[in-house]
């Protein structure tokens, strides 16, 4: 079975020879160079070619829009520190909301369709041109309303604005929902043109390790309906929408299905995620869920042994009833702290498991890393 057939069949819920392997999120120039059988100097001379060669060496079937480390000392970035937003007050958010056009037509008129299409066409043209027969999975965080405005205003100003000016924050969500919906129409067109798999990977970080960053009442009143509206064209077209899941997303699960998602990526199991409970659901049309999972980047992959890595993949097979809808992927970017031995082990082990799997699923059980910690400490923190 070739890559395209395997990926498309897994999305459709049909039989496959093995689960598809997904790549693109390795954030270490050294590891990528070694995987690609290049010196670090050769990798840095053409990082894109190095990334493609490294993922091909892992045997991946598909990739997200790949991360491309450009320096040997590059590490995971994205820290948001409030000192970087000195002088930003909730009133800045209020004023931005007041500047939003009064009508949906006005918001749409201000959205530059040609510019958005040209931007994503350039990305797709580039990556489909260099990936060969490795499939590209459309990945865009702009397909949903912008909950992560803390990246623009900082945490303090943003969450104070939610408390002080909730209607204004909701107005900004509405604006970005309309823009996201327009973008999704463009993405649908480009996905057909470039013959991409019918799947979009998206979703914003709404949760911390303990649960939602703001009240569920606020999300119900101002965010969830906007997210559903933005994703509606994709869902209506039969495109599978997979949600990125950082933190404890369990309180959001029922809402996620209502918004049209039919898949999940990530899972910080240490935050209280119960993938068995999630897997009991189906998508909007009753379809089995998709799971982009199997490699935890906060515990097993960076700090575990190859045996731990294999145990976690077995765990993913168990909660997906033997690999149904499962794509091997990491919970987030695989940083330079992750031993290359563990990365190779994960992909080699997942590729070795033929479907239908001979090993019987062990049933509902705790995350192996947590079970080992409990055994070590006697159940005490």
- Bridge partners (DSSP) listed for residue 212: 207
- Give the whole-angstrom CA distance, residue 28 versus residue 19: 25
281 close to 258: Cβ distance less than 8 angstroms: no
Q: How high is the pLDDT of residue 224?
A: 96
Angle at Cα 25 formed by Cα 186 and Cα 124, nearest 5°?
Answer: 25
* 375 burial type by CB count under 10 A (0-12 exposed, 13-18 middle, 19+ buried): exposed
Look at residue 198 and give its three-state secondary structure. Answer: coil
Look at residue 262 and give its three-state secondary structure. Answer: coil
- Give the whole-angstrom CA distance, residue 184 versus residue 310: 37
Tell me the angle at which helices 113-130 and 166-193 cross, rounded to the nearest 10 degrees: 50
Check residue 285 and report its DSSP letter: T
Look at residue 126 and give its three-state secondary structure. Answer: helix
133-157 as b/e: b if 16+ CB within 10 A: ebbbbbbbebbbbbbebbebbbeeb
Instruction: Let me know how long the chain is.
Output: 381
Write out the chain's pLDDT in tens, 381 residues.
999 999 999 999 999 999 999 999 999 999 999 999 999 999 999 999 999 999 999 999 999 999 999 999 887 655 666 678 788 999 999 999 999 999 999 999 999 999 999 999 999 999 999 999 999 999 999 999 999 999 999 999 999 999 999 999 999 999 999 999 999 999 999 999 999 999 999 999 999 999 999 999 999 999 999 999 999 999 999 999 999 998 899 999 989 999 999 999 988 899 889 999 999 999 988 999 999 999 999 999 999 999 999 999 999 999 999 999 999 999 999 999 999 999 999 999 999 999 988 766 667 888 898 888 877 766 555
Q: How high is the pLDDT of residue 174?
A: 98
Tokens of 17: 């020879």
Look at residue 62 and give its three-state secondary structure. Answer: strand
- Bridge partners (DSSP) listed for residue 22: 62
Alpha helix (H) ranges present in 74-165?
90-98, 104-110, 113-130, 150-153, 155-164
Residue in 273, 270, 271 with CA at minimum distance from that of residue 370: 270
Q: How high is the pLDDT of residue 356?
A: 85
Q: How high is the pLDDT of residue 129?
A: 97
Tens digit of pLDDT for each residue in 357-378?
Answer: 876 666 788 889 888 887 776 6
The sheet carrying 199-202 orders its strands as 138-139, 199-202, 240-245, 263-266, 290-295, 326-330
Instruction: Return the sign of the alpha-carbon dihedral for residues 247, 253, 256, 260.
Output: positive
Q: How high is the pLDDT of residue 27?
A: 94
Look at residue 308 and give its three-state secondary structure. Answer: helix
Q: How high is the pLDDT of residue 364?
A: 85
Instruction: Return the sign of the alpha-carbon dihedral for residues 76, 131, 1, 287.
Output: positive
- The domain spans of the chain are 80-197+213-240
Q: How high is the pLDDT of residue 76?
A: 65
Q: How high is the pLDDT of residue 80?
A: 67
């Amino acid at each position: 079975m070739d890559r395209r057939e395997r990926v498309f069949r897994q999305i459709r819920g049909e039989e496959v020879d093995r689960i598809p392997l997904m790549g693109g999120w390795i954030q270490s120039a050294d590891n990528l160079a070694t995987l690609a059988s290049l010196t670090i100097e050769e990798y840095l001379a053409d990082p894109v070619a190095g990334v493609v060669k490294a993922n091909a060496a892992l045997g991946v079937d598909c990739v997200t829009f790949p991360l491309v480390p450009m320096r040997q000392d590059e590490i995971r970035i994205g820290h948001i520190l409030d000192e970087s937003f000195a002088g930003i007050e909730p009133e800045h958010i209020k004023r931005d909301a007041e500047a939003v056009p009064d009508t949906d037509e006005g918001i749409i008129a201000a959205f530059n369709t040609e510019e958005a299409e040209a931007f994503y066409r350039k990305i797709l043209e580039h990556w489909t041109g260099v990936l060969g027969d490795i499939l590209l999975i459309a990945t865009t965080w702009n397909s949903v309303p912008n909950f992560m405005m803390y990246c623009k205003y900082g945490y303090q100003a943003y969450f104070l604005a939610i408390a002080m000016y909730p209607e204004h924050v909701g107005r900004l969500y509405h604006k970005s929902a309309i823009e996201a919906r327009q973008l999704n129409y463009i993405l649908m067109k480009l996905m057909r043109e470039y013959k991409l798999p019918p799947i979009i990977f998206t979703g914003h970080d709404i949760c911390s390790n303990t649960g939602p960053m703001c009240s569920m009442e606020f999300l119900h009143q101002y965010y969830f309906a906007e997210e559903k509206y933005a994703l509606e064209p994709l869902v209506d077209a039969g495109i599978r929408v997979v949600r990125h899941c950082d933190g404890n997303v369990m309180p959001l699960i029922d809402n996620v299905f209502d918004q049209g998602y039919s898949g999940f990526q990530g899972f910080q199991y240490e935050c209280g995620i119960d993938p068995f409970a999630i897997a009991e659901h189906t998508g909007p049309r009753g379809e089995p869920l998709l799971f982009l999972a199997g490699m935890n980047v906060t515990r097993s992959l960076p700090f575990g042994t190859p045996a731990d890595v294999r145990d976690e993949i077995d765990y993913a097979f168990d909660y997906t009833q033997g690999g149904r809808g499962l794509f091997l992927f990491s919970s987030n970017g695989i940083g330079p702290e992750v031993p290359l031995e563990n990365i190779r082990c994960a992909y080699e082990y997942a590729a070795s498991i033929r479907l239908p799997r001979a090993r019987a699923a062990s049933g509902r059980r705790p995350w192996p890393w947590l079970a080992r910690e409990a055994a070590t400490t006697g159940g005490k923190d």
